[in-house]
Amino acid sequence: MENIILILGLVVFTIIVSFPCGYIRENFPKYSIVWWVLIHLPIPFIVLLRIKAGLNWHYIPLTLAGSVVGQILGGAVSRRRKQNAKAA
């Protein structure tokens, strides 16, 4: 049970850390240097936290999925906000 809470906490952390990067990423051209950096910026923090938590490499797909979800959610919120600003 303790391990499940640790894993869920790590996945939620990856979503939270990746969300602002996805939000900011929407303001830059696709495949630009800054766009690429914003996608990869949270990865070292996520890896460090996974190692500090004592989780092995088997949990990388979960953290990767959390990071992708955070990026997608951040981008979606940014697009929605821009869309609402244009409509007003």
Look up the domain containing 38 and give its range: 2-9+28-83
The predicted pLDDT at position 34 comes to: 96
DSSP string covering 11-38, please? HHHHHHHHHHHHHHHTTS-TTSHHHHHH
User: Could you tell me if residue 18 is inside a domain?
Assistant: no
The span from the CA of 56 to the CA of 50, in Å, is: 8
pLDDT in tens, the chain (88 residues): 778 999 999 999 999 999 999 999 999 999 999 999 999 999 999 999 999 988 889 999 999 999 999 999 999 999 999 999 888 7
pTM (2 d.p.): 0.89
User: Could you tell me if residue 71 is inside a domain?
Assistant: yes
The predicted pLDDT at position 63 comes to: 94
Count how many domains the chain has.
1
User: Could you tell me if residue 21 is inside a domain?
Assistant: no
**Rg value, the chain, Cα:** 15
Phi, psi (rounded to 5 degrees) for 31: 70, 15
The predicted pLDDT at position 38 comes to: 95
